[in-house]
Chains A and B, each alone.
Chain A
Amino acid sequence: MRKSITRSIVALLAALALSQIATAQGRGGREVPDGFIREGVPAMPNPPGPAPRRDLSGAWVGPNNYTIGPIPDLTPAGEARFKLNHRYLGFDVGKGDPIPASNDPFITCDPLGFPRNLVAHAITQRGGVLFGSAPNRILIAYEQQRVWREIWMDGRQLPKQVDAKGAPESRYYGHSVGHWDGDYTLVIDTTGVDERPWLYEEGYPRSSSALIQERYTRVDQYNVQFTVTVNDPKFYTKPFQFMKANLYWMKDQMFAETFCIPSEGIQYRDSITAPSGIKVLQ
């Protein structure tokens, strides 16, 4: 009898699990793209060829398989700054608690800035990233917001400070220089970021004096592994690896336009956040 009941429960759980799987596999829409590979892209040889020397040019998708942090303790200045950042619908809000206001810049379509733009791509695992070149520099263009960065490769130094007399202005995506470490790893150092964007959506800050280093290692023809480390003594008690992920090369990948448009941000604020009781702080 007991075995019979157990079998029934097991069967019921199995049926529920299968129904969940069936639901999860549901796909629809009138014009359904198959994943993020557009039709007509030729199959690429498998296995991939060797990594080309000192070359990341072309279209990539990702970051994929990313990890964040851990984020170390903040300094008192970092804590003070962190308290000013009110994330959108935080996980720490208990049921029945008041819904906090938020000043997440993305609600109002303010620039994500660097390196949060990398994480935004990682969420969807579909971000388009295009490495190109111009004299003395590498250009990196991002599908999200169609922004681009220029990485100076001519040996120049990063600015020692920003927003001071005789110094350059801070930038949402910072000032960047790069060099090759061997033939397959591109190292990019960035500083001078505008402090208004967040490190990522949990509201952690980064200061304009932070040194943020990316290391892109081309493993083979199709794969890049990269890390992003943050050294920001003003806001954090020690340097840390902020992010680790990989990119996948897609020769003919087309990129969507993924703008966050101010009028649409206003629509979102008025249609969803305000009726939901979430005040958007400016």
Chain B
Amino acid sequence: MPTKQANLRLAAYLKGGDMSTDVISQAAVRGPQAGPVMLCVNGQRRDVRIEPRVSLLDALREHLGLTGAKKGCDQGTCGACTVWVGDRRVLACLTLAVSCEGREVTTIEGLAADGSLHPMQAAFIDQDAFQCGYCTPGQIMSAVALLNEGHADDDTEIAEWMSGNICRCAAYPNIRAAIRDVRDAAGGDR
């Protein structure tokens, strides 16, 4: 249901004809200039000063020095920028950083705990699941999410649910092997 405040604003808008955004909702509209944005990345509060058009990927890489998430296509087709927002794997290149305020962002840098590699990171090394390595951070963030989602019953399912992460070196068999290793070590994925 619309709030009373919004109704008043709407009424002002409908009456006023030409309405600039500052009449309606001064507090809500931000930019286009850079302004303070409070992010939470890998469990830490990170304050940045960015324009609303800055993607989460650019905020991480250019403003926070977190270059683990990679810029491959920058148009949502390759998966190299895969991070988690909340508990979901998403594409940082198609996410505006400002829209992540109040949400927990996790990148590949946040995966290792106390200096020990996450089991998926270790499995990628064990199984030689990369060649050039550029897609690897995205592959690993996707692979951990895949196991949490319960979509790794067999190789067909793994391939289907990892299809958003392209590997130009075609390390796919090794990537699947790494995922199987972690799945089996955890006693199944469900």
> Is B truly associated with A?
no
B contact set with A: CB distance below 8 Å: none
Binding site for B on A (CB under 8 A): none
